[in-house]
A and B are shown apart, each in its own frame.
Chain A
Amino acid sequence: MTELWQGLTRAVQLIITLDPEVLEITGRTLRIAGASCILASLISLPLGSLIHFGRFRGKRALVSVIQTLFAVPTVIIGLFVFVLFSRSGPFGELGILFTPTAMVIGQMILITPILLGLTISALNGVSKEIVETATSLGASGFQLALLTLREARYAVVAALVLGFGRAISELGIAMMIGGNIRGFTRVMTTAISLATTRGELELALALGMLLLLLALIINIALNRLQQR
């Protein structure tokens, strides 16, 4: 109990004094998760609209598959991306294994199904009457998709936040593809994991608290947005 208490006070100190290593790790974590989230949304928003408005066979099955992929363990994606980018893999020549770029790709693969699935369900939440009203007012297919995304904006933003949260909090991909290289690919989750095994509980707790704090800030921002 005293150990935990000491750890906590030291952690608060590390955060308040803006410890350079803590800041550096936090910054990198946000950049990597942010980049993967932007890439994933660039794929998911148009693709989600296409799937939602498209009329094709197997649409339900496709949505089920996407939803199943929500729960894919990070280590499986880590393994998959590792095989792709390892020296002998199909993209081995790129030499990006154990770089932030590979981590972004891995996290993007992780959260794309989530963003895609939640975008589709967000668009489903826009009433048929609203879509028909826009059609009746002369919207083209593309204009209709934009309007529907706009009508669903709160649910879409919620999906983005969820995807971002999933990306900053995952460990498997960051560890297996990033390699936890200090000053290069070390992010909050891998740092917490390492610090804990080394017995550096203050650092682990400080980073853990920061991670929670980030989640809290994002949630508050989202709530603000939804109340508008």
Chain B
Amino acid sequence: MKPSAIIEVTGLSHSYGGKEILKELNLSIARGEVFALIGPTGAGKTTLLRIMDLLEVPGSGEIRFDGQAVPRSGKHRLAIRRRISFIQQKPQVFNASVYDNVACGLRWRGVDRNTIAEKVDRMLATVELEGYGSRNARTLSGGEAQRVTLARSLVLEPEVLLLDEPTANLDPVSTARVEDLISNIARQRNTTMVMATHDMSQGQQLADRIGVLLEGSLVQTGNASDIFRSPHNAEVARFVGMENILAGVVVVNDEGIATVRIIDDTRGSDIQAVSTYPEGADVYACVRPEDVTLTPARHPSSARNAFAARVTRVTYLGPLSRVEMNCGFQLTSLVTRVSAQELGLQAGAEVYATFKATAVHVMERRPDR
């Protein structure tokens, strides 16, 4: 049996000043699920969350909360909204003490003073802000303020917690702390969460299921490995970090091993890939840059794809180096900084790039793209 959905969105469209932000969106979130909404800035993530929090009335489409259709106006919206909490990207604290900030939602719900005091104190301890109660919340650092907003939402024990890029403005230490808090709460209270993020690793780490939102459409939903290993189309592939997306045509398919001829290739190379696409299919062959290994000479390995390449650019990304190469077609590899130094990688250097047939994800290429 399908687990019961707490939020169900059907045929949701929304425009803002003539611009279509969300297009015919369907999404069902199960009770207790942690769902990550990933997509680039401007994809419509925030708008979708705002509509789910009933801050905005959608242009068209329906939302059901816990089986009931949400009315477009009226008092009932407040009753539903009080079962949902929303953590915004930029922490918004009221110009009042930390205690009053955390207590306000409970006060608005008519909870008695003693219960409020008890709950607020416990929550401040949970977010490690004990002793901050009487401080004005506006004097806090960004990380502290974000923990106040977390406490303020969590103290209400919402059935659904919506998070909009909760760590986008935080330093790495604060980010780790907030992520810990979120995953602890998800586990302890079995709270349903919908989290928007452009940070794919965060989605991967915290979520049960991921949805990719691109230009207002939910392009793909699935678990992390589905999304990262088998994107549905080139846009998703590009967004999830498949930097090597090579347009090609299947020339042979021999028992599940496809040979893909790369189109924009000066040498006319072929790539071997595990795929069921038949001969003649227009496809993209995608390879994650971390799956491309580099060696100084041709290596007798089991990898079916090996190409002589000339390095065109090396960029340092912390402990990793991103190496762009030309091997008739453009190829990018991610290697550790140490091995980049050992291989003497720099523009103009010659190396061998290899990757396995199983590392290649083949997907359909529509001629118009």
Contact = CB atoms under 8 A, between A and B. Distances in A.
Most buried by A among B53, B86, B108, B152: B108
Interface of B: 53, 55, 78, 81-82, 84-86, 88, 90, 92, 94-96, 104-105, 108-109, 149, 152-153, 156
For chain A, the bracket of interface size reads 10 to 19
A24 interface: no
Contact of A140 (B78, B94, B153): B78
A144 to B, nearest CB: 9
Contacts of A143: 108
A130 B92 contact: yes
A133 to B, nearest CB: 4
B108 A135 contact: no
Contacts of B96: 150
A134 B78 CA distance: 12
Given A137-B156, A151-B95, A132 B55 contact: yes
B78 to A, nearest CB: 6
Nearest to A153: B95
A55 to B, nearest CB: 12
Given A127-B92, A136-B81, 10 more contacts: A129-B90, A129-B92, A130-B94, A137-B105, A137-B108, A139-B104, A140-B78, A147-B94, A150-B96, A151-B94
A41 B88 CA distance: 34
A139 B82 CA distance: 9
Nearest to A140: B78
A137 B103 CA distance: 11
Contact of A137 (B90, B95, B104): B104
Contacts of B108: 137-140, 143
Contacts of A127: 92
Contacts of A130: 92, 94
A137 B153 contact: yes
A137 to B, nearest CB: 4
Interface string A114-142: 00000000000001011011111111100
